[in-house]
């Protein structure tokens, strides 16, 4: 059982629309949309060994701001609930959390402090986006190009021991500015790739009722190797944005990105003729 399967068990309770994106939506009276997201991280499974409290605080906020960024929204407020095994960890943790929030134009506006067996952090953030440019997972249209920002795979490589990429794992950078530009240019769908590129492409394909075909030769890899390609496709922890857009939209887009494929009819994610497995990062229970 993993967290994606578990989510299926409560979809009827929460609603399909409410569980279809990383961010919720709430229509504001002036035609803007408030988007919000929440993420739970805890020490034994989410924070790599040797991380400082500052880095844990930064990462806790960054994962949620990355969700906000994937809608094209500007982050506004962040809430940080932290369960602490030792109270002296709070100040450096919150220094990292506040630093990350402020770097991306958000404010830590509240939180909760609890005692806990292990350091556990839940961040919730909301942001504001004009409804005309708001991006979701659905919306990808046959003929659109599939694009990605950054060089996914480096966080996975760092997890595997490649010290030169540790900064990408420990202090990931949510692509807030890129997300705003991509949405304004008129992308048809967007999400972040923190669970892995292929599994995120399946999320877009499922939500949009389309297939995706990837062009292997175009992948932005951190090095030319089969290992780097595997990290790119299936590694977790990176904060690139995956989006689909028409040629016309891409002409207006002024941010760095790589075209890695296109949207086709179907329901699978392929690389040439090969249907890629639906796998990426997941929380797993042994049962």
Which residues are near a second copy by CB under 8 A? 1, 3, 6-7, 9-10, 13-14, 18-19, 23-26, 28-30, 32, 34, 36-42, 44-46, 76-77, 79-84, 86-87, 90-91, 94-95, 98, 107-118, 120, 122, 124, 126, 283-285, 287
**Pick 130 or 206: Cβ nearer a second copy:** 130
Q: Check if the beta carbon of residue 148 is closer than 8 Å to that of residue 240.
A: yes
State both tokens at 227: 């290992």
Nearest distance in Å: CB 52, a second copy: 16
Nearest distance in Å: CB 90, a second copy: 6
Nearest distance in Å: CB 46, a second copy: 8
Nearest distance in Å: CB 38, a second copy: 4
158: burial class by Cβ within 10 Å (0-12, 13-18, 19+)?
A: buried
Q: How far apart are CA 77 and CA 209, in angstroms?
A: 33
**Pick 9 or 254: Cβ nearer a second copy:** 9
User: Cβ neighbours of residue 167 under 8 Å, at least 6 residues apart?
Assistant: none
**Pick 248 or 285: Cβ nearer a second copy:** 285
Ordered strands of the 74-84 beta sheet: 24-27, 32-42, 120-130, 74-84, 107-115
Nearest distance in Å: CB 260, a second copy: 28
Nearest one of 204, 174, 206, 209 to 189, comparing CA atoms = 204
Q: Check if the beta carbon of residue 116 is closer than 8 Å to that of residue 227.
A: no
Nearest distance in Å: CB 157, a second copy: 24
**Pick 87 or 161: Cβ nearer a second copy:** 87
**Pick 92 or 266: Cβ nearer a second copy:** 92
**Pick 14 or 259: Cβ nearer a second copy:** 14
Q: Check if the beta carbon of residue 138 is closer than 8 Å to that of residue 208.
A: yes
φ, ψ for residue 276 (rounded to 5)? -80, 145
**Pick 126 or 232: Cβ nearer a second copy:** 126
Nearest distance in Å: CB 219, a second copy: 29
User: Cβ neighbours of residue 25 under 8 Å, at least 6 residues apart?
Assistant: 33, 34, 35, 134
State both tokens at 86: 């030792």
3-state SS assignment for residue 230: helix
Q: How far apart are CA 244 and CA 246, in angstroms?
A: 7
């Amino acid at each position: 059982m993993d967290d994606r399967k578990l989510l299926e068990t409560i979809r009827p309770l929460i609603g399909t629309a409410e569980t279809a994106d990383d961010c919720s939506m709430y229509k504001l009276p002036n035609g803007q949309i408030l988007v919000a997201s929440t993420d739970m991280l805890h020490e034994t499974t989410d924070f790599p060994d040797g991380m400082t409290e500052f880095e844990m605080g930064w990462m806790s906020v960054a994962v949620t701001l990355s969700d906000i960024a994937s809608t094209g929204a500007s982050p506004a407020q962040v809430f940080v609930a932290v369960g602490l095994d030792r109270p002296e960890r709070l100040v450096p943790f919150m220094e990292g959390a506040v630093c990350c929030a402020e770097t991306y134009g958000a404010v830590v506006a509240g939180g909760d402090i609890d005692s806990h067996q292990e350091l556990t952090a839940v961040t919730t953030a909301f942001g504001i986006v004009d409804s005309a440019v708001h991006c979701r997972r659905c919306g990808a249209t046959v003929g659109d190009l599939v694009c990605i920002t950054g060089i996914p795979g480096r966080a996975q490589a760092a997890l595997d021991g490649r010290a030169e990429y540790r900064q990408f794992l420990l202090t990931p950078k949510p692509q807030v500015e890129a997300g705003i530009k991509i949405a304004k240019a008129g992308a048809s769908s967007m999400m972040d790739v923190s669970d892995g590129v292929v599994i995120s492409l399946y999320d877009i394909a499922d939500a949009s009722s389309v297939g995706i075909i990837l062009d292997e030769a175009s992948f932005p890899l951190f090095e030319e190797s089969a290992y780097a390609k595997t990290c790119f496709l299936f590694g977790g922890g990176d904060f690139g944005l995956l989006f689909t857009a028409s040629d016309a939209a891409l002409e207006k887009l002024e941010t760095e990105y790589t075209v890695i494929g296109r949207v086709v009819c179907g329901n699978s994610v392929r690389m040439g003729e090969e249907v890629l497995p639906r796998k990426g990062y997941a929380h797993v229970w042994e049962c």
